[in-house]
């Protein structure tokens, strides 16, 4: 089989198309929120939380959650250096400072010891990002947070389907946020979700999401506070309802693809894939291969090999402190090292076995050329 293999794309069926068409045809006036409310109820039920708010992006959801915690100028929020910039940007929107700490070499998520060492009198929160669907050590982070009086927030943008000792990612901390971008396991095109069990925090974020107009406010066009415009459109939520009806199958297919990679590549010398410690299940949004330094297989070597095979493959996130808007933190050795020798593998739902084999063949050849 020939043809370019994309690294990801959504799974859209007639179910989503029918709901979107219905929203476009009938979802106006008194019905302009019908699919939105339905989506929020379905998402909260899937996650096992009390409250969910559909937003225009995960970035917006995180921004509002941090604002509702009254994080602002002079405050610090601790997060891992290995992340996409969207995890750090909302902190800066509020005038606060993101404090980047190193990651664990196996999960590529926050190192709890580094988190505790970075706490100062200005620290206001710990942001646990479940990178590529891998899971942070939530028990340790929650214990640290409780001991220091700090909320632990979950950025579960990439972790739909991930489970930590019986709890779905995003449902464990003070609040959680999810991405519904077109690259994610479930999508609304663009979009996000804010979730929490804290009813007071929910009401605050709900008000912020609608230009500061509180639920139940009877005065028309009255704002109770300065808010944001981060609401999801009804037609997007209609697509999301179709996705949620299929969520178990979508997660299962992601895990099938991940298990294929793990079976085919996990025993090769010099390579490590996403870990899945006992008691956890990863949603496997983005299967990732990290190569040992001894293999001398670099990011550029990987990109060139996949490009030659007509396969899209994403590079590992650059350390945030390497970006020009932040100060470098070279002490975060692991976060600066791993991106230099790692690659995200294609994993869209309808990949064929032949396409999966094409991907693993590229990796096998690289290992054979460098290790054996």
Q: Where in the chain is the domain with CATH 3.90.1150.10?
A: 247-370
Q: Where in the chain is the domain with CATH 3.40.640.10?
A: 14-245
- pLDDT per residue of the chain (372 residues) written in tens, 0 to 9: 579 999 999 999 999 999 999 999 999 999 999 999 999 999 999 999 999 999 999 999 999 999 999 999 999 999 999 999 999 999 999 999 999 999 999 999 999 999 999 999 999 999 999 999 999 999 999 999 999 999 999 999 999 999 999 999 999 999 999 999 999 999 999 999 999 999 999 999 999 999 999 998 889 999 999 999 999 999 999 999 999 999 999 999 999 999 999 999 999 999 999 999 999 999 999 999 999 999 999 999 999 999 999 999 899 999 999 999 999 999 999 999 999 999 999 999 999 999 999 999 999 999 988 755
pLDDT at 250 (0 to 100): 98
Backbone angles phi, psi at 335, to 5 degrees: -65, -30
Helix (H, G, I), strand (E, B) or coil at 337: helix
**CATH architecture of the domain with residue range 247-370:** Alpha-Beta Complex (3.90)
| Cβ contacts of 319 within 8 Å, gap of 6 or more | 81, 82, 100, 329, 332, 335, 336, 339
**pTM score of the predicted model:** 0.96
What is 14-245's CATH number?
3.40.640.10
Q: Which two tokens stand for residue 128?
A: 């646990």
For residues 103 and 112, what is the distance between their CA atoms, to the nearest angstrom? 9
Torsion on CA atoms 222, 226, 230, 234, rounded to nearest 10: -10
Angle at the Cα of 174 from the Cα atoms of 170 and 176, rounded to 5 degrees: 30
Listed residue (241, 240, 243, 209) closest to 226, CA to CA: 209
For residues 10 and 63, what is the distance between their CA atoms, to the nearest angstrom? 26
For residues 86 and 264, what is the distance between their CA atoms, to the nearest angstrom? 33
pLDDT at 216 (0 to 100): 86
State the burial class of residue 98 (Cβ atoms within 10 Å of its Cβ: 0-12, 13-18, 19+).
buried
């Amino acid at each position: 089989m020939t043809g370019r293999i994309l690294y990801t794309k959504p799974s859209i069926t007639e179910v989503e198309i029918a709901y979107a068409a219905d929203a476009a045809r009938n979802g106006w006036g008194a019905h302009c929120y019908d699919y939105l409310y339905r989506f929020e109820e379905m998402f909260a039920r899937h996650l096992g939380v009390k409250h969910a708010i559909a937003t225009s992006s995960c970035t917006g959801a995180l921004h509002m959650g941090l604002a509702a915690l009254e994080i602002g100028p002079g405050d610090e929020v601790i997060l891992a250096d290995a992340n996409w910039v969207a995890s750090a940007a909302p902190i800066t929107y509020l005038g606060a400072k993101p404090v980047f700490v190193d990651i664990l070499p196996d999960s590529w998520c926050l190192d709890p010891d580094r988190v505790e060492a970075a706490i100062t009198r200005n620290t206001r929160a710990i942001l646990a990002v479940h990178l590529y669907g891998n899971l942070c050590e939530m028990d340790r982070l929650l214990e640290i947070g409780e001991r220091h009086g700090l909320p632990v927030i979950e950025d579960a943008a990439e972790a739909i389907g991930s489970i930590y000792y019986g709890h779905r990612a995003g449902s464990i901390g003070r609040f959680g946020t999810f991405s519904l971008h077109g690259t994610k396991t479930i999508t609304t095109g663009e979009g996000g979700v804010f979730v929490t069990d804290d009813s007071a925090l929910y009401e605050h974020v709900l008000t912020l999401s609608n230009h500061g107009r509180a639920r139940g406010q009877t005065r028309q066009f009255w704002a109770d506070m300065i808010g944001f415009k981060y609401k999801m459109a009804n037609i997007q939520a209609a697509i999301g309802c179709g996705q949620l009806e299929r969520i178990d199958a979508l997660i299962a297919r992601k895990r099938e693809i991940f298990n294929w990679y793990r079976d085919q590549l996990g025993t090769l010398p010099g390579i490590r894939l996403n870990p899945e410690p006992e008691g956890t299940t990863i949603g496997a949004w983005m299967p990732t291969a990290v190569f040992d330094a001894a293999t001398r297989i670099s990011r550029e070597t990987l990109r060139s090999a996949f490009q030659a095979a007509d396969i899209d493959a994403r590079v590992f996130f650059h350390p945030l402190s390497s970006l020009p808007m932040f100060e470098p933190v070279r002490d975060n050795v692991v976060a600066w090292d791993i991106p230099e020798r790692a690659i995200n593998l294609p994993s869209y739902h309808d990949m064929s076995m032949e396409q999966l084999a094409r991907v693993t063949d590229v990796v096998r050849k690289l290992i054979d050329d460098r290790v054996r």
